[in-house]
Homo-oligomer: A and B are copies of this chain.
Amino acid sequence: MDAFRLLPLAGEPPAERSDAARNREALLRAAAELVDHCSVENVTMDAVAQRAGVGKGTVFRRFESREGLMAALLDHSESEWQASVISGPPPLGPGAPPLERLHAFGRSRIETTLTHAALIRAAGRTGTRAYAAAAFAAMHVRYLLAQLGAHGDLGYLATALLAPFEIPILEQQLVLEQRPVEEVQAGWEDLVRRVVAG
C-alpha cells in the first residue's frame, strides 16, 4: 500500500518533484522497451540505466531493487493497457462494433497477461492494483455483453469469460499443452459467441 494513498492531501497525491517524475517515467519507458525487445528475464537494472542514460545508482534509488522496478512496470503496463481500452484506437478502443471490440479485448488481454505473468514472477508479487485490474476487466466485458444484447447474469458471465485468462490457465494451455496462442484466442472467441447467443 502506497503511503500517499493513506494520506491524500486535498484529494490528490502529492506531486513528485517534476525532475523526479520525468526521471521515473524515462526509466519505466526504458524498462518497458527492454521488455518488448528482450524477455523480462533479461531485463537488468544495468540495462535499464544504460538505456535511460542514467547511472545504475539512480535506478536503485528510484525502485530499490529489480523486484521494485518490475512491480512498478507491472502497474505501468496495466495502466497503459486500460487507457488503450478506454480511449485507444479501435477495435480495442471505442469506435468498433461491440463483438469486434470484445474479440480485440480477448486477444490483447491474453498478450498482456503473458507479459504480466513474467513481470509478476520477476517482481515476486502482483503489484498494487491487481484487484482493481480484475474489476476493470470485468466491468468492460460486462459493458460489451450488454451492448451485444446478451441476457442473463451478466456479472457472472463476465467473470466466467475472464476466468480462462487467469495465469495458471493460460500457462497450462500454452506451455503444458503447447497450444499455439492463435488457437487459444480462437477458442475464446468461440466461447464468447456461445455466451452471447445464449
Contact = CB atoms under 8 A, between A and B. Distances in A.
Contacts of A134: 172
A193 B195 CA distance: 9
Contacts of A177: 155
Which applies to chain A's interface (DSSP): helix, strand, loop or mixed? Answer: helix
A94 interface: no
A194 B187 contact: no
A177 B164 CA distance: 19
A190 interface: yes
Nearest to A177: B155
A4 B191 CA distance: 42
A67 to B, nearest CB: 21
Instruction: Give the oligomeric copy count.
Output: 2
21 contacts: A152-B190, A153-B183, A153-B190, A156-B173, A156-B187, A157-B190, A157-B191, A159-B169, A159-B172, A159-B173, A160-B160, A160-B163, A163-B164, A163-B169, A166-B166, A166-B168, A191-B195, A193-B198, A194-B194, A194-B195, A197-B197
A99 interface: no
In this complex, which of A159, A177, A184, A187 has the most chain B Cβ atoms within 10 angstroms of its Cβ? A159
Contact of A187 (B153, B168, B186): B153
Given A153-B183, A153-B187, A156-B173, 7 more contacts: A153-B186, A153-B190, A160-B163, A160-B187, A160-B188, A191-B195, A197-B197
Interface string A124-139: 0000000100100000
Interface string A62-88: 000000000000000000000000000
